[in-house]
Structure 1
Amino acid sequence: MKIPFRAIAALIILSLIGVFAYQTFWLTGLYTTMKKEMDNCLQETLQISDYNEMMLRCDSLRKYNMEKKEFGTNYNIDSLTMKDTQSLLFINEPFSITIDKNGSVELLTKYFQRGIHSQLDLFTNINLHTFDSIFTRAIAMRGIAYLPHRIEIIDLREDSTAVCGVSNPVNYMPGKKAAFYYYNYDRHNKMAYRLCVEPTRRVVLHQMTGILGTSFLIIVILGLSFWYLIRIILRQKTVEEMKEDFTHNITHELKTPIAVAYAANDSLLNFNGAEKLEKRHTYLQIIQEQLKQLSGLVEQILSMSMEQRKNFRLSYEDIELKPMLESLIGQHRLKADKPVEFRLAAEKDIVVRADRTHLYNVVSNLIDNAVKYSGEKAEIYIQAFYSDQCLTLKVSDKGIGIPADKQRHLFDKFYRVPTGNLHNVKGYGLGLYYVKTMVEQHKGTVSVESVAGKGSTFILQIPG
């Protein structure tokens, strides 16, 4: 059961849409997850930076105390007892109850950090530049190489700036769409750090560059693969149609000479055609010409199958080209059903090493095409010359020509150029394919130069 081409194309398109939709859904989910992770990362980095900034201030105070011996503190952080910690945090109940109420040790750690912060701020102020340096290094270690931002300390009660902010880079000013992240470091919920950054979607998208690039590459590869598949299917469909046309054409081409030869033979056998010498000669000549035509058709068809076999070989010999061309011109002049004018430009001493039979058929095909596609009168010009140890043979006509968009398919198997209202041109789509195949077997090339309505020139180049 053959599946219609439209159904296959629709299935392929739906598959592409499905893959694209799934990729979009997956990438959207990944973006959302990474965006949340980015927000959590910035929030956690604020807390870590606050802790590290406090430790630096503690170290500075210890050094100052040791050098000046003037500074003392009521708390030794390294030797705090459970009772001291509860007093520092203003907790009037056991830790186990506090943890149960808060639900996590993490929240208790924040309380502890805020308690130390409140006591430390009594002796020394926050160094916002140090905090910014620590924050910048911390986010860089988390894979955020560059994030323009501004950090400031605000009073939560009045929603006002308590300490002028520090920008990184210095000229950065938050835009209207800037995002804000807060970290409350005060145990009384009065003071907090505020981080101002532009929307982090650019940073997230930058981190997703590899994934986005891979996904895009996958979509492109799938698209190209499906496109190639459709192209192959279309090509196969075209080849099938060409084969059907070829079958009809070749059947007609074979039946015509068979019918003519059969009629001539029937006249000789049943209608006393053999009694008169003149009639007998005429009928026998008709039979011979039709058999030659059949032989040529069969030979070309066999050549098409033989050239695909590994054991296909050409029988090379030295051929005098001009006598061969003159013979071909004479034969085509006799069998032409229209006036034909030939012009030949070839030197007598041109000798080419090639397979005589196939070279003969190649040139015969080109002359035959030139005659068939020349309208009511044919003017054929044949040139042959050597150039750079290569034989160049040109067959030109002033016929109907070949449209530019059809020339690239001209040498395809079973292909015939549409002739519009011209229905008297016989053919089966193998002639030029045979020409190209045999010329390439001779290590040569064939090309065409043509203008619609002005004629065509076929150019053969064979080395040797």
Structure 2
Amino acid sequence: MKLRTVISLSLVSLIAVVLIQLGGMLYAFHAQMQEAEKLLNKCFWMSFTETVDNLVNNLPYPDNSIAIIAYAPNPKYKRIDGNERNKRTSQQVAQALQRVYGIKEIPLATIDSVLHNKLRKLDMDGTLTVERINVNTNEVLATTNPQVSIRNFAAVTSETAFTFKSRGEAVRAILSFPAKEMEKRLLLLSFITWLLLGTAVYALIVQMKSVFRQRHDLQKQQQDFYTLAEEMKHPVSRMKNLITTENWQEIEAQSNVLFERTNATLAHAKAEIRQGNTGRPISLKAISIVSLVGVFLLLAVWSGYLYYITSQKIRYHAEEQLEEAFYREADLHRYPLFTKANPDFNWDSSPGEFLPYPRRMMNELYKVYLEKGYRYRVQLSVIRHLYNKFDEDFRVKMAYDIQDTISLRSRVPIPFSLQFADSVFRKQLLETGFPDRADIRWIRYPSRELILYTGSPAVDFGDITTRLFPLDKDSTSCIFAVVRSPQRTIMSTTWYMQVPLLIAFLFVSLCVFFQIRMLRAQRRLEQFQKDFTYSMIHDMKSPLQSVMMGAHILASGKLADKPEKLVRYRQVMGDECEHLLTLSNRVVMLTEIDRGELELHKEEVALRPLLRDIAEKYQLKAAKTAHFDIDCEEGCSVYADAFCLREILSNLVDNAVKYSNEEVLIILSGKKTEDETIVRVHDSGIGIPLSEQHKIFNKFERVASGSRKTGASGFGLGLNYVLQVVSAHGGMVKVESMEGSYSEFTLQFPLR
């Protein structure tokens, strides 16, 4: 794959991950705005009711005067939620105050002030405005803060409360969250995410460019070697012939030319290695470590943030259900017991006087009921010259009113029933799709002494607790709920952020994984270049240097009177030329195979004499003790090119000697089957690691561990040469080896 393609795929993947992360952010932002809207609605209606109720209390009439009645048709006496009934009542009372009692308008500043205090208790800090609007034209008639607009992307709007429905006048609240807060909670974490993703991709791209450059340099170096080895064939053949004629001056001159060319190629390769080592402006290993650490830090920060906001949502939900359970326990359990124990009790027994307006309305409702049969739910608004705070919603306020009545007027004590409240609480959680286990605790305050509890008495780590709900006026007895192990719900409700986070985590992990692979590949290429350079020195430069020095000494005449040394020098020069010719022939043949130009002259080659000849040659040539065992029947033959067969078997025996300890046993065997001839070369050498066996037949590959143990050199062309030649014959090569024990190469040649 080309570098440009790899970089393009990396950048496209990065953009895709960023877009997914951005989508998750927007989803999370939308979810948070929905929760903020719920809280704003709850506080807005409490503030609206408090403002309207206290306008009633400030009317210039005696205490306990019934000033206004609110009513709603209900033919079937259908049960209406207490909060919804309170909303209708407050709106009717607001209209009656303006239409009957001369109040010009419901004061926005008062609603704003009350609402601001309630929101501050919930840590909802933002810019607030309360508007009076005409719902028919959507025109803003008045506002407490003109700078806040409903069009702000970080603003939530409450429900609309009518103040004069016949004229279409209503009020609403708008809460705008500050940009700094949004940045702190979302943008900062997202910026860290994108920075980490970008860093990981940048490190990966830099590493890939480095590896691609190294591969390109190595390919160029190998091509230079190919060219040099091919061009060396004829000059070396000529030098070998000149040894017999003792033309030492020409041999020296020719070897000097080849030596200079080899030295130039080697110098160029070394310069490229040095340039590659000094061309890294940054430590990619450090970037890899930073990326890994950053991944886990990011996961921890995001998870902590998601856990926090979701636990707050769960706490709010549990508090809503506990409010409902508290109200129902007071209304459906304690109040029936109270009325049964106090049969003479009457809610209307307290002194009170209907003012003219509510008296007239009651008469009209009675007439409608007689004429049409309509039934109405009626709620009275009574004047009490005290400031009445609505810090709880209507259900909880009603529960406290019932509780106060029972405490003051009951002849016998009627205690709060924790079991009844707990059963309602659990049922409400299940009905609202909240499957987590939860229970209620009843404590003394502020000592937090446990009075009674359901479920477990302990609050475990990870459990979520609600706020305290006082059961008496002095708040010495309170209840609260404990949501047990809500982690599953948190995970299921934050999937929209967990999925992008998981994708980002996997993406960065993959980047780091591939970066580590690139670092390993880079180190391997560096070692490969060093080994290749060492092989050039050992297999090309050193033989040429030996020939050149030998020719120089012989040309000087210093050994004229020393025939034994003269013979040895000539033999060494001949062996070095033979070594260079073997290398050159392999390169030429591999080039011909690559180009499809190799011509094989196949014939039946007697195998046993060939194996015996190779064994004798290496027994004399080897610098270490080599024992040979030949297991081949007389008459066994191979249909192959004789020269190529000798070359590949010699190469395998040479490797068996090189990659062994001080003493080695080599078994050469051959046999014929119905379909093929099988030749095996088995040695008791150092073996080949299992991790290396799949790549030893690749071009320029050498078993690094074996080389380090034995000091053996070479370009790594031998086994590739064996594979290519056997494949050209239509055969196969197999290897079986155990590190530190043995190696066995099996050659399979098809019959004629």
What is the aligned partner in structure 2 of residue 7 from structure 1? Answer: 283
Q: Deviations over 1:292-345 (max 9, x none)?
A: 5334212434566777x6969996967656254345335545655667543210
Pairing 1:21–2:308 present: no
Pairing 1:346–2:622 present: no
Pairing 1:431–2:718 present: yes
Amino acid paired to 1:427: G
Pairwise CA distance, 1:17: 1.9
What is the aligned partner in structure 2 of residue 32 from structure 1? Answer: 308
Q: Contact 1:436 / 1:446 at 8 angstroms: preserved in 2?
A: no
Q: Contact 1:132 / 1:151 at 8 angstroms: preserved in 2?
A: no
Taking a change above 3 Å as real, the CA distance of residues 357 and 14 of structure 1, as seen in their structure-2 partners, is farther
Pairwise CA distance, 1:138: 2.3
What is the aligned partner in structure 2 of residue 146 from structure 1? Answer: 436
Taking a change above 3 Å as real, the CA distance of residues 48 and 389 of structure 1, as seen in their structure-2 partners, is farther
What is the aligned partner in structure 1 of residue 736 from structure 2? Answer: 447
Q: Among residues 30, 37, 46, which one is paired with 2:322 in the alignment?
A: 46
Amino acid paired to 2:508: L
Pairing 1:368–2:651 present: no
Q: Contact 2:680 / 2:746 at 8 angstroms: preserved in 1?
A: yes
Amino acid paired to 1:21: L
Q: Count matched residues.
A: 422
Q: Deviations over 1:380-399 (max 9, x none)?
A: 32123468977654323455
The percent identity for this pair of structures is 19
What is the aligned partner in structure 2 of residue 136 from structure 1? Answer: 426
Q: Deviations over 1:216-273 (max 9, x none)?
A: 78546634642442232233223233223323323442345556777999999999xx
Amino acid paired to 2:681: V
Q: Contact 1:341 / 1:379 at 8 angstroms: preserved in 2?
A: yes
Counterpart Cα distance in 2 of 1:440 and 1:21: 54
Amino acid paired to 1:19: V
Map 1:310-329 → 2, pairs under 5 A: 320=605, 322=607, 324-329=610-615
Amino acid paired to 1:449: M
Q: Deviations over 1:327-367 (max 9, x none)?
A: 53355456556675432102346566777766544322120
Counterpart Cα distance in 1 of 2:662 and 2:476: 102
Pairwise CA distance, 1:13: 0.9
What is the aligned partner in structure 1 of residue 667 from structure 2? Answer: 381
Q: Contact 1:316 / 1:353 at 8 angstroms: preserved in 2?
A: no
With a CA cutoff of 8 Å and minimum separation of 6, indicate the structure with the bigger relative contact order: 2
What is the aligned partner in structure 1 of residue 377 from structure 2? Answer: 79
- Secondary structure (helix, strand or coil) at the match of 2:630 reads strand
What is the aligned partner in structure 1 of residue 457 from structure 2? Answer: 174
Q: Contact 1:149 / 1:174 at 8 angstroms: preserved in 2?
A: no
Q: Contact 2:628 / 2:666 at 8 angstroms: preserved in 1?
A: yes
Taking a change above 3 Å as real, the CA distance of residues 354 and 108 of structure 1, as seen in their structure-2 partners, is farther
- Secondary structure (helix, strand or coil) at the match of 2:667 reads strand
Taking a change above 3 Å as real, the CA distance of residues 50 and 218 of structure 1, as seen in their structure-2 partners, is same
Q: Contact 1:318 / 1:351 at 8 angstroms: preserved in 2?
A: no
Q: Contact 2:438 / 2:482 at 8 angstroms: preserved in 1?
A: yes
Pairing 1:241–2:517 present: no
Q: Contact 2:319 / 2:467 at 8 angstroms: preserved in 1?
A: yes
Counterpart Cα distance in 1 of 2:612 and 2:705: 29
RMSD: 5.5
Taking a change above 3 Å as real, the CA distance of residues 408 and 221 of structure 1, as seen in their structure-2 partners, is farther
What is the aligned partner in structure 1 of residue 158 from structure 2? Answer: none
What is the aligned partner in structure 1 of residue 190 from structure 2? Answer: none
Taking a change above 3 Å as real, the CA distance of residues 195 and 342 of structure 1, as seen in their structure-2 partners, is same
- Secondary structure (helix, strand or coil) at the match of 1:427 reads coil
Q: Deviations over 1:258-293 (max 9, x none)?
A: 56777999999999xxxxxxxxxx999998866653
Pairwise CA distance, 1:29: 2.2
Counterpart Cα distance in 2 of 1:86 and 1:350: 122
- Secondary structure (helix, strand or coil) at the match of 2:586 reads helix
Per mean C-alpha deviation after superposition, the further-off stretch among 174-183 and 30-39 is 174-183
What is the aligned partner in structure 1 of residue 89 from structure 2? Answer: none
Counterpart Cα distance in 2 of 1:160 and 1:366: 87
**Structure 1 regions of 5+ residues with no counterpart?**
272-281
What is the aligned partner in structure 2 of residue 297 from structure 1? Answer: 583
Counterpart Cα distance in 1 of 2:402 and 2:600: 101
TM-score by length of 1: 0.65
Counterpart Cα distance in 2 of 1:136 and 1:326: 92
Counterpart Cα distance in 2 of 1:419 and 1:427: 9
Q: Deviations over 1:20-78 (max 9, x none)?
A: 223322222222223333332222210022345566569989xx99xxxx999657x96
- Secondary structure (helix, strand or coil) at the match of 1:344 reads strand
Pairwise CA distance, 1:16: 2.2
Counterpart Cα distance in 2 of 1:283 and 1:382: 33
- Secondary structure (helix, strand or coil) at the match of 2:457 reads coil
Map 1:49-64 → 2, pairs under 5 A: 49-53=325-329
Per mean C-alpha deviation after superposition, the further-off stretch among 178-187 and 233-242 is 178-187
Q: Contact 2:321 / 2:428 at 8 angstroms: preserved in 1?
A: yes
